[in-house]
Amino acid sequence: MKLTINQRRVFNVLERLAAEGAACPTNAALAERIGSDTSDAAKAFGDLRRLGVIDVVTARTKRQVKIVATGAQTAPIESKRETVDA
């Protein structure tokens, strides 16, 4: 499958972060890393998802990415649960 330049750049960032178990970045952070604007990074991210190259789990504004070919994943989404003192 042939990816565009921005798709390849976003994929490379996600692949590296998944290998490290690091958190999935926002579209703005992805854009900064690939030297593009946020809309281009968001489009490339969405394209990768639609093409089946990545699987994405979202919770509010956080997301976890799985690289389909390798199974590597970015850090799990942590929920902030409030504890009640008894």
What's the rounded Cα separation, in Å, for the pair 24 and 41?
Answer: 13
Domains of the chain as residue ranges with CATH: 5-67 (1.10.10.10)
| Strand, helix or coil for residue 66 | strand
Please state the rounded mean pLDDT for residues 53-60.
94
Check whether 51 has a pLDDT greater than 90: yes
State the pTM of this model.
0.88
Q: Can you spell out the DSSP letters for 39-65?
A: HHHHHHHHHHHHTTSEEEEEETTEEEE
Position 79 confidence tier, pLDDT thresholds 50, 70, 90: low
Q: How far apart are CA 7 and CA 26, in angstroms?
A: 15
- How many other CB atoms are found less than 10 A from the CB of residue 46? 14
pLDDT at 85: 55
Condensed to tens digits (0 to 9), the pLDDT of residues 12-40 reads 999 999 999 999 999 999 999 999 999 99
Residue 77 clears pLDDT 60, i.e. is over it: yes
